[in-house]
Amino acid sequence: AGRRGLTVMQQAIIALLVGAAALYVTWSFLPLRRRQRLLDALAARGLLVRAAERHRARLATPGCGNCAAAGGHASVKPHDPGKTVKAGIEA
């Protein structure tokens, strides 16, 4: 009886690990906007509120926002109509 209980426990642990891996793969392949919608739905129910806020901040960064340096990217400067630009050199 003890051996059977150990086997059942091992199978339950394996099932949890496989399920967690499946969720991770699904999450990693979801587009960023769809992830945000899912996090917003969970945050509306009081779950993962901070994660939703952090993810929304990541979406607001320029570029893809997936790298660690996303917060340090230079912001785009607005065009100054008073300056002339010739071959990439401001005059």
Residues 6+ positions from 63 with CB-CB distance below 8 Å: 70, 73
Neighbours of 9 (CB within 10 A): 10
Angle CA 5–7–11, to nearest 5: 115
Of residues 25, 26, 54, 24, the one with CA closest to residue 40: 54
What pLDDT is recorded for position 73?
A: 53
pLDDT in tens, the chain (91 residues): 678 889 999 999 999 999 999 999 999 999 988 999 999 999 999 998 999 999 888 887 766 555 655 555 555 555 555 655 555 555 5
